[in-house]
Amino acid sequence: MKAVLPRTLIRERRRAALPQRQLADVMGVPQSTLARIESGQRAPTFISRRKIKKALRDRARGSVFTFYVA
């Protein structure tokens, strides 16, 4: 797997001010899975890529945490 995706993912997650655990929660995956994706040890599935993109886009719009409020 190319190193571009992990570096880009880390940069964009940090830009969105999302800790790894919160992004993993939003994606519905364990934090360890996201850590492996970010380290390049695991290639994200198509579905994971879509979840990452949606979470970061929603965060940019200010709506990532809407389902945490109950």
What is the pLDDT, as a whole number, of residue 1? 43
CATH class of the domain whose range is 4-68 = mainly alpha
Q: What is the pTM of this model?
A: 0.76
Number of other residues whose CB lies within 10 A of the CB of residue 52: 22
What is the pLDDT, as a whole number, of residue 18? 87
What are 53's two structure tokens? 């993109």
Minimal CA–CA distance to 16: which of 49, 61, 47, 46? 61
CB 64 within 8 Å of CB 58? yes
What are 42's two structure tokens? 């695991």
Q: How far apart are CA 70 and CA 33, in angstroms?
A: 26
Whether 54 shows a pLDDT value over 60: the answer reads yes
Alpha-carbon distances of 58 from 1, 8, 12, 18, rounded to whole Å: 26, 17, 12, 11
Whether 67 shows a pLDDT value over 60: the answer reads no
